[in-house]
Amino acid sequence: MAVWSGSSEVIMSFKIAKNTCDLFICLDLVARRKRGWNGEESRSNTQWTFSGSLFYSIICITTIGYGNQTPKTPAGKLVTIAYAIVGMPLMLICLTNTGHAMAQSFRCYMTLSYVNEGQTII
């Protein structure tokens, strides 16, 4: 399904598209081709490597938001919103559990250190 040149390609994309998503993909490809995209992605230009994606997902759910990586497409923005809506509460639960575990460890350490010194804890 090559839709690369001219307005006839847009008309063909309407005929080829079986659903709205396919239609938008076809129209997006036509628009990119008109702006000079040749269909190749250079590895040095790729924003979404595995490590970059992991960094972005952590920054998103911890609400730090550096802003150096952002989704460019509307679909990517919607997925990010859905991911943040689900991920932020889960991150808060994780941080709460981590805080409780650290507090319990601190209490245990302090109890053991005072008992070893022969002091009582009030």
* Residue 109 in domain: no
Q: What's the confidence (pLDDT) of residue 38?
A: 66
* Residue 91 contacts residue 61 (beta carbons within 8 Å): yes
* Residue 121 contacts residue 110 (beta carbons within 8 Å): yes
| Domains: count for the chain | 1
* Residue 8 in domain: yes
Give the span between the Cα atoms of 36 and 13, in whole angstroms: 19
Q: What's the confidence (pLDDT) of residue 37?
A: 67
- Which pTM does this prediction carry? 0.51
* Residue 91 contacts residue 100 (beta carbons within 8 Å): no
Q: Reduced to 3 states, what is the DSSP secondary structure of residue 3?
A: coil
* Residue 95 in domain: no
Closest CA to 98 of 63, 62, 57, 122: 62
* Residue 101 in domain: no
Q: What's the confidence (pLDDT) of residue 46?
A: 65
Kind plus residue range of the DSSP H or E element containing 122: none
Could you tell me the residue range of the domain that residue 24 belongs to?
1-38
- Tokens 């730090």, residue? 64
Average pLDDT over residues 90-104: 95
* Residue 46 in domain: no
Asked whether the predicted pLDDT for residue 1 surpasses 50, the reply is no
* Residue 10 in domain: yes
For 9-55, write each residue's pLDDT tens digit.
555 555 555 556 566 676 777 777 777 766 666 666 666 788 888 88
Average pLDDT over residues 70-96: 91
Structural tokens at position 75: 């679909």
